[in-house]
Chain A
């Protein structure tokens, strides 16, 4: 953990702390206070986007643990989100269960599904593992549609009533924002802490060299499965929140392209830190909005047909180009840029 010159730890608690300097404490507290006031400062549509970003952050945090820490890959993250969303929906809508019972159930169900689809990771790696996890993206929606469609609604939307927490009905964007914020911050804290734990070190050892890790006594199969489990638990949490936020779920919400974009957010943000997850989610979701607003301004500069095509094709092209640029020029993502930025101003006015 790098710190400014002259900052020393004087006891073990300080040495183990995640937030280590006064400035960091000030930034965290200031950030949380600002986030707490956000619903009173911004409009409904932006708050809605903030909720989507927070849900996305939770899902991408799972990928950070799986891909960033363990070096495994999953192209089925939204399928695991679908499990979380449907389990939440079924528990709240059909069985009228308490939110606090439904939420862990949704997370656990997704985690167990992640375990199943993580089994091939013992035998295969890289591209082949990606293909194996891709299967989840096809199998899970198929199961949702075809097994007990009387419960899931099949291809129809499963409408989820707004759950309540201690009499507080989660039927406004503001209430959802606070819930998502708390869970996203808690999820980030857990991911950050996990990185420094025995489990996290085993994950990193597997990522860096699985054979070397195994020769040092790290149970590869166990830890790979654990990584898939934790990743899917995050997906389940994100899916459950998505379900109650949308107040309805359909398999059409959980597409392969969304799974790929979750992975894209991790790459663009940076795989080496949970902070990168936040950067990636904000940047890509923000870019989506930006492209949508720029499209109509650009359209008139082309003929009618070309203009419509430009407007239609702009989002995928922009995302593709952004992803490409990051892979070429900054493969460590926005987080690395942020680190350089901080270091530059830490030394300012000296150049090094």
Chain B
């Protein structure tokens, strides 16, 4: 055997050894005096530009809770974030790693709804609580999973109603749907939504889908223009919204986009002139409401922790909301039942009866009920220059759950 081959063999064996040894080394040390939450987020995968800021949001919020609010009755909360890079097997692996941690986590936050859906039953079996991105499959049939915003289709209905109420012409409003060909993108195309649009006199003139990596969507737009759509509607983020608006500009089609969830700072800053007058929905206040005390508090931590422009996102704010809701519920359970009653059953009981809880006195309004594990209120926003300006106050969304789960 040649020397080179021997070295190659030894290096290979060494690599295999490291592979087996490293995960063990990486496991966190035991902290029995702490309460643990685990966030399994897509920080480097396809949805990273959208959901990535959830990580700094959660980190800053827990820092605020631990330092300024004293944790949960003096017990610090240890929030661990893991990057599953959009790879489902990796997400599952991280979940399995999480449930073997000591202390065992109480809350798990999967940063994508497909992962939330895949983990839904597992989280129930492991007696944890899931706070997840909100798709039908991630929440229903109800298990232990709560949505961090209303169902996409509920926000869609809210926006369509707004557009209808503000429609000035003497003919029905025509909307063309153009969205990503993914579970997230298609979440607004449901029978319930179509029936609702019809019932309020809105005509859905066409439904077009495109791939998440497609940059040219002019063919789809041409078909919607032929059908004389007055508004475009979508459920996508960043590059998807840019593709639609660039396509419209190329075609010389002056039309606005209602992007249910979500057009926000990261997207607008890519090309501000494209998005002027567009509308979107989300469940928290806007970074641009600089006079609002809740936004001031968030901004204070945002600056103090040297967050960058890419972290200025709805998901950063949702990270705060998530942490504050979990903190409120944990505190309430300890108040009611003491530390002896600090368990999943009581936490779920408390969470499912949470009514109009306002994190930071108004960042959002969170209400759950034993029947609906998704948020009830969201707000409509309009894009003006590089700002996301509120159009309405927090409005109650319609119940658009799939019929079989009502």
Contact = CB atoms under 8 A, between A and B. Distances in A.
Contacts of B89: 48, 52, 246
A287 interface: yes
Interface string A91-118: 0000000000000000000000000000
B118 A48 contact: no
B39 interface: no
Interface in B113-147: 113-114, 117-122, 125, 135-137
B354 interface: no
A246 B12 CA distance: 30
A156 B185 contact: no
Contact of A293 (B23, B88, B119, B183): B23
A301 interface: no
A13 interface: no
Interface string A155-181: 111010110000000010100000000
Contacts of B304: none
Nearest to A141: B181
A45 B26 CA distance: 11
Interface string B51-85: 00000000000000000000000000000000001
A341 B9 contact: yes
B19 A287 contact: yes
B8 A46 contact: no
A283 interface: yes
B1 A290 contact: no
Interface stretch (B90-98, B249-257, B317-325, B367-375): B90-98
A159 B100 contact: no
A111 to B, nearest CB: 24
A252 B120 contact: no
A258 to B, nearest CB: 9
A44 B104 CA distance: 13
Contacts of B18: 290
B27 interface: yes
Contacts of A283: 12, 15-16
A213 interface: no
A30 to B, nearest CB: 17
B96 A48 contact: yes
A157 B93 CA distance: 18
Interface string B9-32: 100100110111011101100000
A156 B5 contact: no
Contacts, number: 123
A155 B184 CA distance: 8
Nearest to B140: A159
A47 B96 contact: yes
Nearest to A288: B90
B99 interface: yes
B93 A337 contact: no
Given A247-B122, A282-B16, A312-B44, A156 B186 contact: yes
A154 B183 CA distance: 8
A139 B186 CA distance: 19
Contact of A156 (B12, B120, B135): B135
Nearest to B5: A340
B176 to A, nearest CB: 19
Contacts of B99: 44
B23 A289 contact: yes
Given A156-B136, A157-B183, A159-B137, A287 B121 contact: no
B305 interface: no
A286 interface: yes
A45 B100 contact: yes
A253 B183 contact: no
B117 A289 contact: no
B182 interface: yes
Contacts of B85: 292
Interface string B176-209: 0000011101110000000000000000000000
Nearest to A157: B117
A43 B9 contact: no
Nearest to B97: A45
Contacts of A44: 96-97, 99-100
A290 B19 contact: yes
A161 B120 CA distance: 10
B374 to A, nearest CB: 16
A210 interface: no
A289 B20 CA distance: 9
A155 B183 contact: yes
B71 to A, nearest CB: 26
**Residue from A49, A283, A334, A343 having most chain B Cβ neighbours under 10 A:** A49
A189 to B, nearest CB: 24
A286 B93 contact: no
B94 A334 contact: no
Given A153-B137, A157-B114, A286-B16, A43 B186 contact: no
A152 to B, nearest CB: 12
A292 B118 CA distance: 22
A290 B96 contact: no
Contacts of A293: 22-23, 26
Interface string A240-278: 000001111010110000000000000000000000000
B181 A246 contact: no
**Residue from A289, A292, A340 having most chain B Cβ neighbours under 10 A:** A292
Given A156-B136, A157-B137, A45 B117 contact: no
A159 B20 contact: no
Contact of B117 (A48, A145, A248): A248
Contacts of B9: 337, 340-341
B22 A156 contact: no
Given A289-B23, A340-B1, A344-B1, A247 B12 contact: no
A155 B121 CA distance: 20
Contacts of B88: 246, 250, 252-253
A334 B135 CA distance: 44
A312 B264 CA distance: 24
The 8 A-B residue pairs with the shortest CB-CB distance, nearest first, are A45-B97, A286-B19, A44-B96, A248-B118, A344-B1, A157-B117, A44-B100, A48-B93
Interface of A: 43-49, 52, 145, 153-157, 159, 161-162, 171, 173, 245-248, 250, 252-253, 282-283, 286-287, 289-290, 292-293, 311-312, 329-330, 334, 337, 340-341, 343-344
5 contacts: A45-B94, A45-B97, A171-B122, A247-B121, A340-B9
Given A45-B100, A155-B183, A343-B1, 15 more contacts: A43-B24, A48-B89, A155-B186, A156-B183, A156-B187, A157-B113, A247-B118, A247-B121, A248-B114, A286-B19, A287-B15, A290-B19, A292-B90, A337-B8, A340-B9
Interface of B: 1, 5-6, 8-9, 12, 15-16, 18-20, 22-24, 26-27, 44, 85, 88-90, 92-94, 96-97, 99-100, 113-114, 117-122, 125, 135-137, 181-183, 185-187
